[in-house]
Structure 1
Amino acid sequence: MDKSAAREAAFIRRKAAHRPDAATAGYLSEVLAGYRGVPLAGYMPMRTEIDPLPAMAEAAAHGPVGVPIIMARATPLRFRLWEPDCALIEGAFGARIPESGDWMVPQILIVPLVAFTRAGGRLGYGGGFYDRTLEQLRAAQPTMAIGFAYAAQEDPDLPLEPTDQPLDLIVTEQGIITP
């Protein structure tokens, strides 16, 4: 299966699993509680992505939390400090981003997924932003990548490439998977 077909199938599974009003970040909160104060970055959920904001808000009470900013195509992401009630504006690709704030460098990155494997493989949207970013961060310091997704997004047969950065942990609404 090629990546576009895998993405199409994964989007269908994710849409069917999406529960926008459900409390789905409990296991993510549990994981992050073990890293209080460690700089981390999450993401502002779009469309049918699982929502990390409750866990990010808890983490922000103990240390710096950022969200990704797309600077340009084919470049690594940068991260701006985020707090639960900060003013947001629309960024690239419709993602909500803080209107202003300082830049930060995360040591933990909560990564949105289109699909994942139990071995830590990740299928994203195809822009390579997270792969470039993780490669850059990991070259400078130890950086943990936590994939956050619905359990239904698991796919054992993803078409992965050598440039795909692996996930260190996968968290779903149903539990924690250690590759």
Structure 2
Amino acid sequence: MDDIKALARRAAFARRKEAFSRGQGQAAEILADVLAGYAQLALSGYMPMRTEIDPLPAMARHIGPVGVPVITAPATPLRFRQWTPEAPMMTGDFGALIPSEGAWIEPQVMIAPLLAFDARGFRLGYGGGFYDRTVQALRARHKVTVIGFAFAAQEVDEVPIDEHDQRLDAIVTEEGVRWFV
């Protein structure tokens, strides 16, 4: 399965890079509209890297607390440090920016970055398993809504999955929203 996922990741990086070069369209506005239905809930987003679609405009409009992922150790669930557009940032693991200070929050709604997604609601991530571990742990404690955020061009026929992969509740692209539940 690791080899299959590695090949899928290479192809997905290329598709995402091509989509990124065409621009983000109305994706952040659509995401903000979806998140408005969860206005007071704790939200986790992410700081976009390389060719990831940018959720920051939607995160900045969220009324409730917003956190971004922090890797605290290999092969463990993520933690989320509170973020605002004015938060002092530093470079974390894998080069992602993280708040240098602030409260830890536990999200009830998550925006998940990805390389690819399919019509079943599965996502292909970067291979560290951080999001799958995190979603599994959160779902064991309370309801959490996981929203993938991607370019429409990142959809594939079928994401290779194993027993650890967690399904998204929805996907938001520049073309609209698709719910999987």
Same fold (TM over 0.5): yes
Residue 110 (structure 2) pairs with residue 109 (structure 1): yes
Cα deviation for residue 132 of structure 1 reads: 0.3
**Identity over aligned pairs, percent:** 56
**Number of the residue aligned with 1:8:** 10
Bigger shift: 160-169 or 13-22?
13-22
- Alpha-carbon distance in structure 2 between the residues aligned to 1:21 and 1:27: 15
Tell me the C-alpha RMSD between the 2 structures.
Answer: 1.3
**Unmatched runs of 5 consecutive residues or more in structure 2:** none
- Residues 118 and 178 in structure 1, CA contact (< 8 A), matched pair in contact too: no
Cα deviation for residue 20 of structure 1 reads: 8.6
Letter of the structure 2 residue corresponding to residue 68 of structure 1:
P
Assess, with a 3 A threshold, how the Cα gap between structure 1 residues 122 and 15 changes in structure 2: closer, same or farther: same
- How many correspondences in the alignment? 177
Provide TM-score, normalisation by structure 1.
Answer: 0.95
Cα deviation for residue 22 of structure 1 reads: 4.2
Cα deviation for residue 75 of structure 1 reads: 0.4
- Alpha-carbon distance in structure 2 between the residues aligned to 1:145 and 1:115: 15
**Number of the residue aligned with 1:124:** 125
Provide TM-score, normalisation by structure 2.
Answer: 0.94
- Residues 24 and 53 in structure 2, CA contact (< 8 A), matched pair in contact too: no
Bigger shift: 18-27 or 147-156?
18-27
Assess, with a 3 A threshold, how the Cα gap between structure 1 residues 6 and 88 changes in structure 2: closer, same or farther: same
- Residues 31 and 172 in structure 2, CA contact (< 8 A), matched pair in contact too: yes
Cα deviation for residue 91 of structure 1 reads: 0.3
Letter of the structure 2 residue corresponding to residue 157 of structure 1:
E
- Alpha-carbon distance in structure 2 between the residues aligned to 1:173 and 1:21: 9
